[in-house]
Amino acid sequence: MSEAAFSVGHKFADTEPALLDAARVAAYADASGDRNRIHLDEDAARAAGLPGTIVHGMLMMGHFERALRGWLPGTDIRSLQIRFLRPLAVGARMTIAGRVAKLLPGEVPEMIIRLTVQDDAGQSVSVGDATVAVGNT
């Protein structure tokens, strides 16, 4: 796929909603070693001022990569960053949307894809940017 295949504003199809239930969060906690109780224990989360347990931010970020690979199989992801706007409750579904924010010319053209995560209620919970090499797709 070439840079010409995309233009600024191009929207990718939203991902299917992904359920991030307690079992997935616990599995991520075990795999990552991040066993912070706000992700695993309702009482601890409430004691920290949250309405209940919340999904790990890095687990959400991992879904960004999955979305990018679904939209652009084989692409070279050069950078990926995320900004958390609000917590995502354990048990919520998240949907990722993406659009081309900028085309970057070069020997290997790159583009910046703006990513947004919404919860079941349609509220944005995080935004991010991925820089991907266009020539490798």
pLDDT at position 137? 45
Give the C-alpha separation, 75 to 10, whole Å.
17
Question: Which candidate, 50, 73, 51, 62, places its Cα nearest to that of 20?
Answer: 62
Q: In angstroms, what CA-CA distances link 82 with 10, 23, 46, 65, 117?
A: 20, 24, 25, 11, 10
Identify the CA nearest to 92 among candidates 54, 38, 137.
54
Other CB atoms within a 10 A radius of the CB of residue 81 amount to 12
Q: What is the pLDDT along the chain (137 residues), one digit of tens a residue?
A: 554 588 999 999 999 999 999 999 999 999 999 999 999 999 999 999 999 999 999 999 999 999 999 999 988 999 999 999 999 999 999 999 999 999 998 888 999 999 999 999 999 999 999 999 976 54
User: pTM to 2 decimals?
Assistant: 0.89
Environment class of residue 25 by beta-carbon count within 10 Å: exposed (0-12), middle (13-18) or buried (19+)?
A: buried
Q: Which domains does the chain have, with CATH numbers?
A: 3-19+58-133 (3.10.129.10)
Gap between the Cα atoms of 91 and 131, Å rounded: 30
